[in-house]
């Protein structure tokens, strides 16, 4: 079965590189720019797939590394693939697992052929090669799948040159290993903050003619200014008729700056992760619902928000749920934050289509207060948070 | 505002004391026999009020002790009362907090006037008297409220006699303290497993003419046979035109045996608590979804179950969620178990109305395998579980 992964550009902003598009996949058309909620373990934490659908999510991300280790790609394949397994019949993107191997696994040993590591779950030794990663991603069956790449320190040129060589080698092998025709395999650019390396990566990968391109190795330690500058030199090197995916980004302000530089696809665990810590996204910035000032506040999180949490509950009740450690608090906060992000992306698309994106961006940023807690390097922080969330191995019960 | 708390008996089983009824409250009519899911901290754990509504819950219980300590009854009153606070516009029952004081709080000192204890949350010293308990329950504003009572060892006659005297004294004071006319205050019978004490308690409390009566002090350490025998001598002493509430019970088999002995109202944390541990209720008994045998099982929990979990997900997916520690697993298991209990109560009511309750009971018990894990003394176990769940004090953030 072969699928034609067409990307139509439907509108372009006259004052920036921002654009609207439609990416066709076997499980539906993804309007871009799009934000993909993160469902690491085949569930966007706390939510049902039907809630995600009602929120208007067009694409979700699942993590190959986690699902490969638990429950295992073979089990998911036997149960009909990831869509059926988790009850989500809309587009899914799986990463390659490489980023998680570098950040979560123990004792990794890297060579040109692949990477050996120990599982963070049970300490077992595992081996991933480009071919094995594609095999796993084909078992999972997502609509968009990623090549295995090597993500290195974005400021260390010496290391980056090595990583780039290996990333390109692996991209070729992933391309060659692909057997299913109904999955869009994206190449991943590396090269840190160095324009010549990014250009080299773009040239090498576009020659392989992928249906889409990811920009990897950003938001992992460089400044925001370095990230934006890197996008500026990278996106012009990519073909206009293929979607561009900035991995692990981001916050509303990072999304606006990246859309302005021609990025189409985003994913980030931040909105759902900060929700579970009581951080709620609003037009004015982030609100911490645990603060004592909300103890008897009868107002909703945001007066004009149409999400389920804001339509039915007060800040006082939400604060109570968080103080009492109740799961409903995590659910309502997650619902609100994803509602915020998905409405925000709708506004971004509408503004581009109307030719008013630059104005929308300026007005949004003028009202949105970026707190110190707003993670400057979201993916780097996410990686650290994931590390600290790892649990000791749990044994299956008899 | 005064409300007429009518209890209509609509059907009586010819072969037992089982009966169907309708209890009228300000927030709607409760069909009996009824099972009330437990929403200790103003939330039935993991669920929204709209999910509870969709499940067909007719009554929920909230715990006065927990809400008094956090967020505080004054805050809930200021926000319009418990119904509005938690977004549940159907009947609510609050206990008196006495049982939790005896089981959860530290350093309790009991005297005829009331009880002094330390909060399990912050260690602060607190004092509850019958009058204060009624004041708190009036601030919370539930439809059914309970007198402060003293729950003692059901087998220790010497202690029980003392506790009974105090329970009756406090019932009189609670009755006198009540100011709102739109809450049904129930008296609570004590007397352990001793028929003469139970009869004395029934006579004393019915003389006070409560709109309903609770049977307290059971399922806290006696055998099932002792509990059933006690019910047999107690319910005939209670007026037929008032609902009878067996506190903290129970499992399907305990509910069947108690309904057969004339009980109308039940509450129990067990179905929701075991759900969060992966224990799923089925017609055949309890299933532990963590078991390895379900790792690639494509079937739903129960083939003919119409709950959301069974309609959309496999046992394999549910097991994966539990193994991965995902909140969606707790939600789906809770939904299933409450769906099971509420459908079970519908079947009980239908059987009584059809005159086939005894047959239904026999058939159900023949198919339902009671595992060792099915708690014989549900409330006793619940108390221990609650103790072990207590967290260290958490300070409010600035």
Instruction: Dump pLDDT digits (tens) for A310-331.
Output: 999 999 999 999 999 999 999 9
- Measured CA to CA, the distance from residue A357 to residue A315 in angstroms comes to 32
Determine which helix (DSSP H) or strand (DSSP E) holds B191, and give its type and residue range.
none
Check: CB of residue B283 under 8 Å from CB of residue B342. no
Q: Compare all CA atoms of chain A with the CA of B78 and give the residue at the minimum distance.
A: A296
> What letter does residue B144 receive in the DSSP assignment?
E
- The band of B386, judged by pLDDT with boundaries at 50, 70 and 90, is low
Residues in chain B with CB shorter than 8 Å from the CB of A319 are 71
CA angle A344, A383, A309 (to 5 degrees): 35
Whether A323 sits inside 8 A of B71 (CB atoms) is yes
Residues in chain B with CB shorter than 8 Å from the CB of A289 are none
**pTM, two decimal places:** 0.94
Q: Contacts from A353-356 at CB under 8 Å and sequence distance 24+? A: A353/A10, A353/A11, A353/A20, A355/A11, A355/A13, A355/A14
| Stretch B28-54: mean pLDDT | 98
Of B42, B320, B397, nearest to A292 by CB-CB distance is: B397
Instruction: Give which of B370, B385, B389, B337 is closest to B37, Cα–Cα.
Output: B337
How far B70 CA lies from chain A's nearest CA (Å)?
8
The percent of residues above 70 in pLDDT, for chain B, comes to: 93
Whether B113 is catalytic: no
> What letter does residue A391 receive in the DSSP assignment?
P
- Measured CA to CA, the distance from residue B383 to residue B268 in angstroms comes to 11
**pLDDT tens digits along B110-156:** 999 999 999 989 999 999 999 999 999 999 999 999 999 999 899 99
Residues in chain A with CB shorter than 8 Å from the CB of B86 are 317
- Measured CA to CA, the distance from residue A197 to residue A200 in angstroms comes to 5
Check: CB of residue A78 under 8 Å from CB of residue A17. no
* SS3 assignment, position A277: coil
CA angle B137, B143, B148 (to 5 degrees): 40
What is the CATH code for A7-268? Answer: 3.20.20.105
pLDDT reported for residue B371: 60
Q: Compare all CA atoms of chain A with the CA of B278 and give the residue at the minimum distance.
A: A397
Greater pLDDT, B1 or A92? A92
In chain A, which residues have pLDDT < 70? 371-398
| Stretch B51-77: mean pLDDT | 98
Q: Compare all CA atoms of chain B with the CA of A80 and give the residue at the minimum distance.
A: B298
Of A87, A298, A328, nearest to B79 by CB-CB distance is: A298
Determine which helix (DSSP H) or strand (DSSP E) holds B383, and give its type and residue range.
helix B378-389
- Measured CA to CA, the distance from residue B341 to residue B34 in angstroms comes to 10
pLDDT reported for residue A380: 44
> What letter does residue A97 receive in the DSSP assignment?
S
- Measured CA to CA, the distance from residue A14 to residue A17 in angstroms comes to 8
Of A324, A325, A330, nearest to B327 by CB-CB distance is: A330
Nearest-Å Rg of the Cα atoms of chain B is: 20
B7-269 CATH pick, 3.40.1360.10, 3.20.20.105, 3.30.565.10, 3.30.420.40? 3.20.20.105
**pLDDT tens digits along B297-352:** 999 999 999 999 999 999 999 999 999 999 999 999 999 999 999 999 999 999 99
- Measured CA to CA, the distance from residue A142 to residue A180 in angstroms comes to 11
pLDDT reported for residue A5: 98
> What letter does residue A318 receive in the DSSP assignment?
H
Residue B99 reports pLDDT greater than 60: yes
Q: Which of B95, B143, B254, B264 is catalytic?
A: B95
Determine which helix (DSSP H) or strand (DSSP E) holds B343, and give its type and residue range.
helix B327-354
pLDDT reported for residue B398: 35
- Measured CA to CA, the distance from residue A30 to residue A397 in angstroms comes to 41
* Portions of chain A given CATH number 3.20.20.105: 7-268
Cross-strand pairs, A299: none
Only one residue has tokens 């009189």, namely B172
pLDDT reported for residue B107: 74
How far B77 CA lies from chain A's nearest CA (Å)?
10
Whether A312 sits inside 8 A of B85 (CB atoms) is no
* Portions of chain B given CATH number 3.20.20.105: 7-269
Range with the poorest average pLDDT among A374-378, B155-159, B360-364: A374-378
| Stretch B162-175: mean pLDDT | 97
């Amino acid at each position: 079965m072969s699928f034609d992964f067409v990307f139509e550009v439907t509108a372009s902003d006259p004052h920036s590189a921002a654009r609207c598009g439609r990416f066709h996949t076997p499980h539906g058309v993804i309007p871009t720019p799009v934000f993909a909620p993160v469902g690491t373990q085949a569930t966007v934490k706390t939510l049902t797939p039907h809630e995600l659908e009602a929120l208007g999510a067009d694409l979700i991300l699942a993590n190959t590394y986690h699902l490969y280790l638990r429950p295992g790609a073979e089990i998911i394949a036997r149960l009909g693939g990831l869509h059926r397994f988790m009850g989500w019949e809309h587009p899914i993107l799986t990463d390659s697992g490489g980023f998680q191997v570098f950040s979560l696994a123990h004792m990794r040993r890297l060579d040109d052929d692949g990477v050996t590591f120990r599982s963070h779950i049970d300490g077992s030794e595992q081996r991933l090669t480009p071919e094995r990663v594609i095999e796993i991603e084909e078992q999972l069956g997502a609509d968009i799948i990623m090549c295995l790449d090597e993500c290195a320190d974005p400021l260390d040129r010496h290391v980056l040159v090595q990583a780039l060589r290996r990333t390109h080698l692996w991209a070729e092998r992933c391309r060659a290993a692909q057997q299913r025709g109904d999955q869009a395999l994206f190449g991943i650019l590396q090269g840190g903050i160095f324009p010549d390396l990014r250009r080299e990566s773009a040239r090498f990968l576009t020659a392989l003619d992928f249906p889409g391109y990811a920009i990897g190795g950003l938001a992992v330690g460089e400044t925001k200014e370095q990230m934006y500058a890197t996008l500026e030199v990278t996106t012009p090197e990519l073909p206009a008729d293929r979607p561009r995916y900035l991995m692990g980004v981001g916050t509303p302000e990072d999304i606006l700056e990246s859309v302005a530089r021609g990025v189409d696809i985003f994913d980030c665990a931040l909105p759902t992760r900060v929700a579970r810590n009581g951080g709620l996204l609003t037009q004015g910035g982030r609100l911490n619902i645990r603060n004592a000032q909300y103890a008897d506040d009868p107002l909703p999180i945001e007066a004009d928000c149409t999400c389920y949490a804001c339509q039915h509950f007060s800040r006082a009740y939400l604060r109570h749920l968080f103080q009492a450690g109740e799961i409903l608090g995590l659910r309502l906060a997650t619902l609100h934050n994803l509602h915020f992000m998905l409405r925000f992306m709708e506004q971004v698309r509408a503004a581009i289509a109307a030719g008013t994106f630059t104005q929308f961006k300026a007005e949004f940023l003028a009202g949105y207060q970026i707190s110190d807690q707003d993670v400057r390097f979201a993916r780097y922080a996410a990686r650290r948070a994931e590390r600290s969330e790892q649990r000791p191995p749990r044994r299956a019960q008899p």
